[in-house]
């Protein structure tokens, strides 16, 4: 039985660390843009790009808030697989982690599904669609949320099973 737990623990750790790194990288992109960086803003498209380029104070505040939330969700990936995460009450940690998982998967998943339907011609794209930004969202930004959420969910599931078995 111990033999089966070791690969299971390795997968749990891998998912938690991968969720952490994906979240951290995503948070760093937001920090870069919030601090005034402009490389890659054209991948956002539309009003988001316009407001970011204009350094609209409300938009910049939202980007800083987003960076903080991404960093918090990234740390949840570590908290569910590290010993120090056991200092957080189980119910609190699992509630936060499941909540972040649901937000990431629902947000990323719904966008990817919708964009895939547009790409496949099932849904008609608007005439003024920014094709470059659309492609970046379909192939990077939105799947990133989805994959991050799935990894965090797998790590959280493993943590919930491990702590329930105790």
pLDDT at 164 (0 to 100): 73
Contacts of residue 157, defined as CB under 8 A and 6 or more positions apart, other chains included, come to: none
pLDDT of residue 3: 47
Question: The dihedral of CA 127, 128, 129, 132: what is its sign?
Answer: positive
Confidence at residue 2, expressed as pLDDT on a 0 to 100 scale: 44
pLDDT of residue 72: 98
Q: What is the pLDDT of residues 104-145, one digit of tens each?
A: 999 999 999 999 999 999 999 999 999 999 999 999 999 999
Report d(CA 10, CA 8) in Å as an integer: 5
Give the C-alpha separation, 72 to 75, whole Å. 5
Domain boundaries of the chain, sorted by first residue: 2-165
Q: Which pLDDT does position 162 carry in this prediction?
A: 81
Task: Confirm whether pTM is higher than 0.85.
Answer: yes
pLDDT in tens, the chain (166 residues): 444 567 888 999 999 999 999 999 999 999 999 999 999 999 999 999 999 999 999 999 999 999 999 999 999 999 999 999 999 999 999 999 999 999 999 999 999 999 999 999 999 999 999 999 999 999 999 999 999 999 999 999 999 998 777 6
């Amino acid at each position: 039985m111990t033999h089966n737990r070791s690969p299971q623990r390795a997968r749990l750790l891998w998912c938690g660390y991968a969720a952490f790194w994906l979240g951290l990288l995503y948070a760093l992109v937001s920090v870069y843009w919030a601090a005034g960086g402009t490389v890659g803003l054209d991948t956002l498209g539309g009003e988001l790009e316009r407001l970011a380029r204009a350094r609209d104070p409300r938009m910049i505040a939202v980007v800083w808030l987003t960076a903080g939330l991404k960093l918090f969700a990234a740390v949840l990936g570590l908290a569910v697989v590290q010993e120090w995460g056991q200092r957080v009450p189980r119910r609190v940690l699992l509630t936060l982690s499941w909540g972040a998982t649901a937000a990431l998967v629902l947000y990323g998943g719904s966008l990817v599904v919708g964009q895939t339907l547009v790409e496949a011609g099932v849904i008609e794209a608007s005439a003024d669609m920014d094709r470059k930004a659309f492609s970046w969202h379909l192939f990077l930004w939105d799947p990133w949320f989805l994959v991050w959420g799935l990894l965090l969910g797998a790590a959280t599931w493993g943590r919930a099973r491990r702590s329930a078995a105790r």
